[in-house]
Structure 1
Amino acid sequence: MAVLPVTSLLAAAFAVALVTLSFPISLRRLKVGDMVGDSADDALRRRIRAQGNFIEYVPLGLMTLALAEAQAAPLWLVLTIATMLVLGRALHVVGMLTASGPVRGFGMIFTYLALLCAAGGLIVNVAL
């Protein structure tokens, strides 16, 4: 059975990050009295989208990272993918919550690069 230490640690960190992103949504919902939907409140909408985007990209990022690690990809590649994914997700959240388009954009670029590196590594490994 594969242990996948990098993916395991990253999954644990992302679980904590998801709770960290979710809790302020609950608090803001209570404050504005809008318990369902995306609300007209800009702060609540930004928090919801930051969390939603996190949920949209992290699972596939973790799956491709786990597959690369399980297929014995070089450690430098696994760490590169993990670093880009963490950096991408962190920058995106900061950009969303501070309304900084450039920071958010760099977050997406790093996320895309992580996914593309993982996909490339998997394709090369399977093809060889």
Structure 2
Amino acid sequence: METMNLVSVPVTALYAALCGFLIIALAANVVRYRLGKKVSLGDGGHEDVNRAIRAHGNTIEYIPLALILMALLEINGAGNTSLHLYGIVLLAGRISYAYGMLVPHSSINQARQIGVLSSWIVIVATSIQLLVSSL
């Protein structure tokens, strides 16, 4: 009988769990706004509902790829320090982005910019590290 090799990715799992809580909080925020404005689908033409939807949607668009890349790095033996750094930057960036979307400021919204840039940095850095480690 063959034994199954199990793969453990505890660092990525930690950030996946924390990101999961963030995603649910943002989803609940969309529901709260929709209920408050009596909107059952879409944003009903309300800018604040649209902002809540995009804060959630943008987070959903970036987190999965970043976590997959982190998990692949962890499986391939990347150090915990770099993985924690990626996870912290990803989570902090996503929180910054959500804050920037939900608490709008001037037309130049630094919190949103930091959020997007941090997600891009994590995705690019993990991609480069994966490429280099697989050569």
The TM tier, using the shorter chain, reads over 0.9
Q: Which is further off, 96-105 or 56-65?
A: 96-105
Q: Give the CA RMSD over aligned residues.
A: 1.0
Corresponding residue for 2:46? 41
- % identity of equivalent residues: 29
> Matched residues in 1 for 2:32 and 2:88: separation?
30
1:126 corresponds to 2:134? yes
Question: By how many angstroms is 1:118 displaced?
Answer: 0.5
Does the Cα contact within 8 Å between 2:11 and 2:80 map onto a contact in 1? no
Question: By how many angstroms is 1:36 displaced?
Answer: 0.5
Corresponding residue for 2:24? 19
Does the Cα contact within 8 Å between 2:9 and 2:74 map onto a contact in 1? yes
> Matched residues in 1 for 2:31 and 2:18: separation?
20
* Alignment gaps of 5+ in structure 2: 1-5
Q: Which of the numbers 45, 63, 83 marks the counterpart of 1:58?
A: 63
* Alignment gaps of 5+ in structure 1: none
TM-score (norm 1): 0.94
Runs of 4+ in 1 over 3 A off after TM superposition: none
1:115 corresponds to 2:120? no
Structure with a larger share of its residues in helix: 1
Give the count of matched residue pairs.
Answer: 127
TM-score (norm 2): 0.89
